Chains A and B, each alone.
Chain A
């Protein structure tokens, strides 16, 4: 009986040594995963995911603290890309109602703008130009459509206008009325 205990003890001690050593030898710093996740997020910085912007959300996902379905601007495509990267089951989006497919951008009715600069402070990507007491303009190309500038405006002169379809941004529609469109897999629960 003693031999048994001693043998197993010897075995486990030597394995312990090995593992202890390799824990130090193969220590891993940093996490390249956050970068990859961040690259998938739409960078709208709208905070709808409940985090202070896209990067914090990416960090939370990497740490396994947040689910992958919280970003409405990223939509289903974004969620699927995350599921793909992380090898997880796709999950239906949390706030489906916000994922209107048509993208909008902010437009300031310039004659009504009083130049209070509140919208400039709200815009996470500096897409609004103008100085205090002067009318402000949204740079259409840089606006991500996050709507954060709309509520602060004291005179409510900011509208979200849908982006117009032109010959250059028109997309061929998904063929419809054909056979069944595949739906993304739902989780087993």
Chain B
């Protein structure tokens, strides 16, 4: 059943941005051939980095776990193909910082030989959800919709938060990106398989599949798959094309009318939101017993010769993906990972594709011009009109600019989903989102520092107390000794230490003064 988005359910704000999906829509360019070396970052998702379970020189099979974590929020990493571990080294990773991070380097052997896999679970319906969650966790599945949050964690909503509605996110609201669209067009059955499993795992009563109305083929395909599955309580809902319709909170609002509480998660209102590709990956893990080894990636923009979608094994470098899409055009100016609204630029194409990589946008200068110099905020309130989180972006900016972190929090900084709508409409071209990201990371760091300071205070107090106690005891002992022994001996032991510390303090002070002088002179 196609249901049109009922008008009364809508989210505040958002923008209409002319989309360029036609560049790549519906185009599947096949699999990128396995390169010689795969680079697999140990941290590919929210949560803690995985610990390697292999060492240099070890031979691994396709699908074998090569890194895992004991932390709850985490996912293992599998070898995307068979080959030999070259080592664990720092390599550039797809991250806005442009930093290097530890990666497992895997020399592929071209055999692509599967290792031992767990048995498939086609009769999942008879199994306990916890068993299935375990399998999903084993498969290393994280959200493929962008945030890369470990899916097994998300599915473990706990008995006190029963899920009524499963929301399947097929909105794909970012301009340019079409990988979910392609998946829905071509593999609707696989997605439906995943939906069935998910419905069983979260024990939801209904499932709503939200798809933006600019993807009619995907809607038809999904609708057909739903009809074939014969599931009454699954509905395909056509939603308006408005960015960021695909944002979890926005889609849930539009589909169910419920608002995810501020600072909360969907489970609190009995909803869970899963991306279509994630659902398909879950189907693989349960039905075929296969872990997550590759994903669909959109390669698009005026800077690429042959835009389209590719299936890419994790660890393949972006340059190989680009080559497979027939290389760059002369227009290529910027390399953006993700969509133009939320993605980030990279200064080189040597980084690997990871689980969170959904799009490679090779933008021309016209598509992604260099930012103008920002003007001061003129408080026009356009950002307020478009903010889907219903924040006051200009106030957030005002305080973030002044580095007043407390105030930014008072204005609900942490409800900002970094969608970029505000920056988009701002007539002063202020990089608003960057201010918020700055304020967020700064707040986190400060929080951590505070904890450390607290710890330091505790330790300092403990130490002071201990020293005082020792001093008391020493004095007591001294008094006793004094009666028996001569005074000299007792004094001698104490003084050198004191002088040492005093001398230390003095040296520090001198050094500081010296530095100060040097700075002065410079």
Contact = CB atoms under 8 A, between A and B. Distances in A.
A172 interface: yes
A43 B504 contact: no
Given A45-B460, A95-B516, A144 B505 contact: no
B20 interface: no
A178 B431 contact: yes
A89 interface: no
A11 B325 CA distance: 96
Given A47-B505, A172-B434, A125 B463 contact: yes
B442 A126 contact: no
Contacts of B373: 177-179
**Interface majority SS (helix, strand, loop, mixed), chain A:** loop
B437 A43 contact: no
B453 to A, nearest CB: 4
A151 B457 contact: no
B460 A124 contact: yes
A174 B435 CA distance: 7
Contacts of B93: 167
A29 B463 CA distance: 28
A181 interface: yes
A147 interface: yes
Contacts of B507: 151
Interface string A75-89: 001000000000000
Contacts of A141: 452
Nearest to A103: B449
B441 A152 contact: no
Contacts of A12: none
B460 A125 contact: yes
B453 A169 contact: no
A119 B101 CA distance: 33
B512 A148 contact: no
Interface in B480-522: 497, 500-501, 503-505, 507-508, 511-512, 515-516, 519-520
A164 to B, nearest CB: 10
A64 interface: no
B120 interface: no
B516 A97 contact: yes
A150 B440 CA distance: 34
A43 B460 contact: yes
Q: Which of B96, B454, B455, B504 has the most CB of A within 10 A?
A: B504
A152 B504 contact: yes
B101 A166 contact: yes
Contacts of B474: none
B435 A175 contact: yes
Contacts of A42: 449, 453
A168 B93 CA distance: 13
A150 B507 CA distance: 10
B463 A179 contact: no
Contacts of A43: 453-454, 456-457, 460
A104 B97 CA distance: 21
Nearest to A172: B437
Q: What 8 pairs across the A-B complex have the smallest Cβ distances? A: A151-B504, A172-B437, A171-B441, A43-B453, A151-B507, A178-B374, A43-B456, A125-B459
Interface of A: 38, 41-45, 47-48, 53-54, 77, 95, 97-98, 118, 121-122, 124-127, 141-142, 144, 147-148, 150-152, 165-175, 177-182
27 contacts: A42-B449, A43-B456, A44-B453, A44-B456, A54-B460, A97-B516, A97-B519, A98-B512, A121-B497, A121-B501, A125-B460, A126-B463, A127-B459, A141-B452, A148-B505, A148-B508, A150-B504, A150-B508, A151-B503, A152-B501, A165-B97, A166-B99, A167-B43, A167-B97, A174-B435, A179-B430, A182-B401
